């Protein structure tokens, strides 16, 4: 039997999926400890402001990566290496600050605190960044995107002539499948809308 005629099988969510849903709904925090220190930070589910800020940070980094430094210019190469080291501290600050107001007020200070004062390395921030990556609400984002795809005003619509042509092709295909008369020729629709 073909898969087309079957009804989809509905499965109950597992306990892990239920816990993840409740965690996302309640914005539960996960506590992450910075390696080599006793400092702990709470990572919550990312909000829109955090995702926008992180996207801008990564796009700016991609833009600077596309630009090749001039050969022999050691200052540009040093600037490139330093900007890579700052990226982890900037992303960690975005994951920790869980509201638009906190991002606007504290982001500039917190990433510099991590980079210049605490001097956290990429290895120390790895667990925090990994947990922050898990807190992106992708399922909701992708579901919303799929629902809104059909509502775009930029999708091409058929003109009246194209729609009539498509309907005519469908009718002729249907007529050829209805059967043949005794002479073996196909039955034609001789009705006309003209009176």
User: Rounded to whole angstroms, how far apart are CA atoms 88 and 90?
Assistant: 5
Give tens-digit pLDDT for 87-105. Answer: 999 999 999 998 889 999 9
User: Rounded to whole angstroms, how far apart are CA atoms 54 and 50?
Assistant: 6
User: Rounded to whole angstroms, how far apart are CA atoms 93 and 108?
Assistant: 9
Crossing angle for the helix pair 122-134 and 74-96, nearest 10 degrees? 50
Q: What is the pLDDT of residue 137?
A: 78
User: Which parts of the chain are beta strand (E)?
Assistant: 30-33, 40-43
Give tens-digit pLDDT for 21-75. Answer: 888 778 788 899 999 999 999 999 888 889 889 889 888 877 776 665 555 455 5
Domain coordinates in residue numbering, the chain? 20-139
3-state secondary structure (DSSP) of residue 186: strand
Give tens-digit pLDDT for 143-164. Answer: 777 777 767 665 566 677 877 8
């Amino acid at each position: 039997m073909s898969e087309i005629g079957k009804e989809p099988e509905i499965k109950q969510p597992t306990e892990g999926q239920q816990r993840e849903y409740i965690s996302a709904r309640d914005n539960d925090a996960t506590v992450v400890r910075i390696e080599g220190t006793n400092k702990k930070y709470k990572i919550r589910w990312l909000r829109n402001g955090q995702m926008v800020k992180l996207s801008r940070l990564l796009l700016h980094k991609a833009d600077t990566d596309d630009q090749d430094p001039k050969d022999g210019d050691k200052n540009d190469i040093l600037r490139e290496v330093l900007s890579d080291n700052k990226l982890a501290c900037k992303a960690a600050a975005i994951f920790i600050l869980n509201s638009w107001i906190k991002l606007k007020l504290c982001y500039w200070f917190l990433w510099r605190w991590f980079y210049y004062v605490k001097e956290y390395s990429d290895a120390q921030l790895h667990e925090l960044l990994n947990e922050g990556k898990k807190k992106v609400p992708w399922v909701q984002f992708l579901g919303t995107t799929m629902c809104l795809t059909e509502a775009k005003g930029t999708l091409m619509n058929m003109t009246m002539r194209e729609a009539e042509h498509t309907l005519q092709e469908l009718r002729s295909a249907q007529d050829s499948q209805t059967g043949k008369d005794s002479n073996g020729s196909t039955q034609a629709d001789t009705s006309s809308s003209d009176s």
